[in-house]
Amino acid sequence: MEGRIYVPNNRKIKEEILKENHDLVDVGHPGQHRMLKLIKRTYWWPGLKENIKKYIQGCFKCQQKKVQHQRKAGELHSLEIPKGPWQEISINIIGPLPKSNGIDTIVVIVDQFTKMIRLKTTTMNISSEGIAKIYRDKIWKLHGIPRKILSNRGSQFTLKFMEEFTKVLGTKRQLSTAYYPQTDGQIERINQEIGMFL
């Protein structure tokens, strides 16, 4: 590189050059691009850019004062811990899946306390009323009436289902937002496990 000093493969010399062009008060801890320009005025060696990047990542002052350009994460709102089994449940649907004997969907019901799951097969064209019947006929007789039902408000978990079901049974509703794991990551995780199993 014409007009610049070639630095041999000597770690001590390279570190001294990096230190002079970064740590000194009159230089003021420049970022990668500015530091590269400063050093390239006088010196050059293979891997210079990578050495600068690693040096800055290892600089305590730079990491301490680094400006975050990402938006702050929202506040997490965890669910209350249920008082007993099958008092609070989550309901979700996995589908469409490859058809087998006319079945292409699984209704997933999870007890928030014991983490026990119940899976019921159905079809994608099931209505909210159909899901309510599955719960009434297959789950309610085993575990009773839940106090709360948590749902991600998918198209199958329409207001009609929740209103009809809760009105008849006197159950308190609690809705979450689709794909919002802060409120119901548990059922999303179980859905992943079922997907891997299938």
* Distances in whole angstroms, Cα of residue 27 to Cα of each of 20, 54, 105, 106, 144: 8, 18, 63, 63, 71
Q: Where in the chain is the domain with CATH 3.30.420.10?
A: 88-197
What does CATH list as the number for 88-197? Answer: 3.30.420.10
Give pLDDT, residue 179: 53
Beta 43-44 vs 5-6: how paired, if at all? parallel
Over residues 110-148, the pLDDT tens digits come to 999 999 999 999 998 887 778 888 888 888 888 888 888
Q: Name the β-bridge partners of 89.
A: 111, 149
pTM (whole model) above 0.75: no
User: Cα(37)–Cα(18) distance, rounded to whole angstroms?
Assistant: 12
